[in-house]
């Protein structure tokens, strides 16, 4: 679908190559699809470089709890396309700072990727700015540590209250 639009696309699949990915890789190699490359696991320095080379990062997982890859890609300025299930739904605001797709929906994924690839520089920049501000205000180390501190102080307070009421 994307090649029909004249958009040059290279799909780089990064991460563990399990049984399904190995089957897909064999099909890609047998058909000589040179636009699809399986890179396997990569060191963090290489991931930074891959993000920098990309406009879109796609994580169509069926379920993720707290996917740090979304935060990394968003901070790198990529438009992130992620799953509407699990933690990505809590990170990405659909259409504002990335896109969400339903799991098991290849057509929806293709439509979303097309929209992301067709975005102009201003739109990409606005999404990046929104993503950066969200990460800074919700997921930065200071914010997370403050939230954890409040939680544990609350647990301690509740424990002390229950202890004093018992005896």
Tens digits of per-residue pLDDT, 60-98?
A: 888 777 788 899 999 999 999 999 988 888 899 999 999
Q: Structure pTM?
A: 0.80
> Is residue 161 pLDDT above 80, yes or no?
yes
CA 123 – CA 119 distance, rounded (Å): 6
Tens digits of per-residue pLDDT, 107-130?
Answer: 999 999 999 999 999 999 999 999
Q: Give the closest residue to 124 by CA, choosing from 92, 89, 77, 88.
A: 77
SS3 label, residue 166: helix
CA-CA-CA-CA torsion for 135, 137, 140, 146, nearest 10 degrees? -150
């Amino acid at each position: 679908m994307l090649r029909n639009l004249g958009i040059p696309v290279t799909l780089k699949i990064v991460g563990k190559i399990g049984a399904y990915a190995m089957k897909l890789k064999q099909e890609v190699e047998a058909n000589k699809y040179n636009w699809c490359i399986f890179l396997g696991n990569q060191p963090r320095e290489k991931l930074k470089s891959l993000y920098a080379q990309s406009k879109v990062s796609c994580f169509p997982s069926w379920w993720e709890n707290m996917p740090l890859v979304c935060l990394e890609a968003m901070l790198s300025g990529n438009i992130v396309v992620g799953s509407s299930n699990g933690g990505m739904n809590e990170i990405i605001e659909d259409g504002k700072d990335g896109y969400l797709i339903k799991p098991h929906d290849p057509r929806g994924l293709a439509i979303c990727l097309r929209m992301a690839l067709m975005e102009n520089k201003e739109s990409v920049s606005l999404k990046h700015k929104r993503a950066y501000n969200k990460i800074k205000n919700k997921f930065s180390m200071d914010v997370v540590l403050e939230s954890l501190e409040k939680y544990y102080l609350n647990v301690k307070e509740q424990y002390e209250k229950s202890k004093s009421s018992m005896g």
